[in-house]
Structure 1
C-alpha cells in the first residue's frame, strides 16, 4: 500500500508512519518543519523528507491514500493537489479506524487521564505477554512506538482524544473509532478554543457514548457527575 503523509513530523503522525512502515507499507511524507525526536526517528527508517516544505508533485494517482495531519492548513498545496486528483484523504483517526474496523476496539476517553489509563492497560497486557494493537498519546517505556498495528491481533487499544480530527474534518477524533468497549474517566471543560461552551463540549461525549457499537459496553467513573449524566 502506498501512502503519503501531509505533516509527517507530528508526534502522532510520525509514529503512525513508523508503524505502517514496520507493517510493510510504502510511505512518503512532507512537512515544513520537523523537530526532535521525530526527526531522528524518521531519518532512522528512511522516512525523513529530503527537504522541508510542501511539494504538490509528491501527490499522484498511484497513491492509495493521503493521511492529513493537523499541522497542515486547509489550503496546503499537497492537500489541494490530492483533492484535485481525487486521491483518498484520511485523517489520522479515520485511518486508524480503517486499520482496526475488523478488530475489537477498546477506546479510552475523558478530559484527563487518557494517556495514563491507556498506558496502564498496555503495561499490564505487556507484562502478561499479550500482544495487542494500540495507539497511545505518549512514548512509553518498554514500547518502541506510540502506534502498533498488525494484521493478526484481534484487539486494539486506542486513546480517544476529543480534539479535532484534521484541518478539513472538524469531528473529534474519538467520534470515529466506534468502540466495542469504551472507558470514560471524567469530564472537565477543555479545548475552549474549539468548544466555546461547556454544553457544546459535553455534547461531544454524548456522541462518543452513542458511537459505541451495538452490543458494546462502557466502563465509567461514577464519582464524576458529568460522566454519569452523559452515560446514564
Structure 2
C-alpha cells in the first residue's frame, strides 16, 4: 500500500509513518519543517523528505491513501492536488480506525490521565509478553515507537484525544475510533480555542460514550461528578462499570497500595495516579490479566514520560517536573507532591503556556489550584500572549484568578531562573509544571544545584 503523509513531521504523524513503514507499506511525506526527534527518526528509516515544503508533484493517482496532519492548512497545495485527483484522504484517527476495524479497540478518554493510563496498560501487557497494537502520546520505556500496527494482534489500545482530527475534519479524534472497550477518566474544560463553552466541551464526551459499539463497555471514574452524569445519561446499549481511587498509605516517601494480599509498594504516587491505576486495572482485566497478575506488574511501573518525572534528588530535597498545565492537572500534581513529602516545604512553579491558560477569561479556572504549595510561583511570557494573538494578561488578573495573596509572579525568564537558583533546597520539594520549556531553564545546572 502506498501512503503519503501531508505534515509527516508531527509527533503523532511521524510515529504512524514509522509504524506503516515497519508493516511494509510504501511511505512518503512532506512538511515545511521537521524538528527533533522526528527528523532523526525519519532519516534513520529513509523517510525524511529530501527538501522541506509542499510539492504537488508528489501527489499522483497511484497513491492509495493520504494521511492529513493538523499542522497542514486547508489550502495546502498537496491537499488541493489530492482532492482534485479524488484520492482517499484520511485524518490521523480515521486511518488508525481503518487499520484496526477488525480488532478489539480499547480507547482511553478523558481530559487528564490518558497517557498515564494507556502507559500502565501497555506496561502490564509488556510485562507478560502479551503483544498488542497501540497508539500512545508519549515515548515509553521499553517501547521503540509510539504507534504499533500489525495484521495479527487481537487488541489495539488507543489514547483517545478530544482535540480536532484534521484541518478538513473538525471532529474530535476520539469520536472516530468506535471502541469496544472504553475508559473515561475525568472531564475538566480545556482547548477553549476549539470548545469555547464548558457545555460544548462536555458534549464531546457524551458523543464519545455514544460512539462505543453496541454490547461494549465503558469504565468510568465515579469520583468525577461530570463523568458520572455523562455516562449514566447515555442510552447506548453498553455495560457501565464504575471505578474509584483504591485505598493507599504513604510512609516515609513510599506509597503503599492496599491489595487483597496486603500493602504493595509502588513506584508512582498521588491520588490522581492511584485513580488512574484503578482504571487501568479494569481495562487489563478485560484484556485477560487477572487482578493478582496486574498488581505484580504495576509494582514495577515508574510512570509515563514527562508525567511527574523526578529530575533531581538529594538526602534532604527532591525536584520533579510535570507535563501539567490544565487546572485539574495542576491541582492534582501539587496535592500529590505535598502528600508524598508532607514534612518538606513545597515550592510549586507553574508556567502558563497554552492557549487556554493564557486566556484572561479562562484564568479563573485556576482558583485555589496551588493551595497545597508552601510557596506558589506563576511564570508566563507576555511575548507568548502576543504570539497567540490573545488579549494582554496582567499580573493583577493572575493574582486574582489564583486567589492566593502570596502568589509570586514572574514575566521575565531570567528573573524566574534567578528565583529557582537562589533557593536553599534543604528540606524542600521543587515542582515545575508546564507544557513549555520554563523560559529555557537549564535542567542539568538545576540537578547540580540540588544534588
When normalised by structure 1's length, the TM-score is 1.00
Alignment of 1:175-214 (within 5 A): 175-214=175-214
Between Structure 1 and Structure 2, whose CA radius of gyration is higher? 2
Q: Does 1:167 align with 2:140?
A: no
RMSD between superposed Cα atoms in Å: 0.3
Q: 1:10: which partner in 2?
A: 10
> In the aligned structure 2, how far is the partner of 1:94 from the partner of 1:120?
25
> What SS does the aligned partner of 2:140 have?
coil
> In the aligned structure 2, how far is the partner of 1:147 from the partner of 1:64?
20
Q: Deviations over 1:197-232 (max 9, x none)?
A: 000000000000000001000100000000001001
Q: CA deviation at 1:109?
A: 0.1
> What SS does the aligned partner of 1:214 have?
coil
Q: 2:65: which partner in 1?
A: 65
> In the aligned structure 1, how far is the partner of 2:142 from the partner of 2:35?
23
Q: CA deviation at 1:156?
A: 0.2
Q: Does 1:148 align with 2:148?
A: yes
> What SS does the aligned partner of 1:34 have?
coil
Q: Deviations over 1:63-120 (max 9, x none)?
A: 0010000000000000000000001000000000000000000000000110000000
Q: CA deviation at 1:179?
A: 0.3
Q: CA deviation at 1:53?
A: 0.2
> What SS does the aligned partner of 1:71 have?
coil
Q: Does 1:108 align with 2:113?
A: no
Q: Does 1:123 align with 2:138?
A: no
Higher RCO (Cα < 8 Å, 6 or more apart)? 1
Gap regions ≥5 residues in structure 1: none
Q: CA deviation at 1:195?
A: 0.1
Q: 1:88: which partner in 2?
A: 88
> In the aligned structure 1, how far is the partner of 2:17 from the partner of 2:175?
22
> What SS does the aligned partner of 1:53 have?
coil
Q: 2:51: which partner in 1?
A: 51
Q: Does 1:42 align with 2:42?
A: yes
> In the aligned structure 2, how far is the partner of 1:79 from the partner of 1:141?
36
Structure 1 runs (4+) deviating above 2 angstroms are none
When normalised by structure 2's length, the TM-score is 0.51
> In the aligned structure 1, how far is the partner of 2:29 from the partner of 2:47?
7
> In the aligned structure 1, how far is the partner of 2:17 from the partner of 2:119?
21
Q: 2:97: which partner in 1?
A: 97
Q: 2:244: which partner in 1?
A: none
> In the aligned structure 2, how far is the partner of 1:226 from the partner of 1:128?
35
> In the aligned structure 1, how far is the partner of 2:79 from the partner of 2:165?
15
> In the aligned structure 2, how far is the partner of 1:137 from the partner of 1:94?
17
> What SS does the aligned partner of 1:150 have?
coil
> In the aligned structure 2, how far is the partner of 1:192 from the partner of 1:219?
26
Q: Does 1:224 align with 2:224?
A: yes
Q: 2:157: which partner in 1?
A: 157
Q: CA deviation at 1:29?
A: 0.2
Q: How many residues align?
A: 232
> In the aligned structure 2, how far is the partner of 1:141 from the partner of 1:7?
26
